[in-house]
Amino acid sequence: MYGISTPIKDVINIDYNYLRASAYGIPGHFIEDGNDLLAVYNKFEEIVKYVRDGNGPVLVEAITYRWLGHSTSDPGKYRTKEEVDEWKQKDPIDRFKKYLLENKIAPAQEIEAIEKASEAAVEESEKFALSSPEPTLESAFEDIFAD
């Protein structure tokens, strides 16, 4: 799609980034619809097992969309309102909610309760973050996974 405000097709000579993986001797995986929660989950279930089994890293490309600009200074002039609206129709949360309802996996009341609990958790996390002291530079190097 875009790298900041530049269409990817204007700066690289391949159709998909995951194809670059072979140049590094690692597998590349492609998820055509990165807004399909189940497709992403299923693909990552396979990938996580592969990595945890000690097979090394992988490169994953999932086609999705950033609704807002790349930064607060991004006016978004490089894409149309129609393009953004089209992608908003593919909202992964709305799509999964619809899937849960249509397949009678969860009733509307349960989904609403989950949404309210999630919103409360986000608000609580925001309050905690804003009231916490600024982290030290050293803390950026804590809890880093490495062999």
Instruction: With beta carbons less than 8 A apart as the criterion, state whether 25 and 59 touch.
Output: no
Copy the structure tokens of residue 132.
């916490």
* Residue 126 vs residues 11, 129, 143, 144: alpha-carbon distances, Å: 37, 5, 22, 23
What's residue 72's pLDDT?
82
Give 55-95 pLDDT, tens digit per residue: 999 999 999 998 888 888 888 888 899 999 999 999 999 99
Helix (H, G, I), strand (E, B) or coil at 54: helix
Question: Residue 147's pLDDT band (boundaries 50, 70, 90)?
Answer: low
Q: Model pTM greater than 0.85?
A: no
Chain centroid to CA 111: how far?
21
Rg of the chain over all Cα atoms, to the nearest angstrom:
19
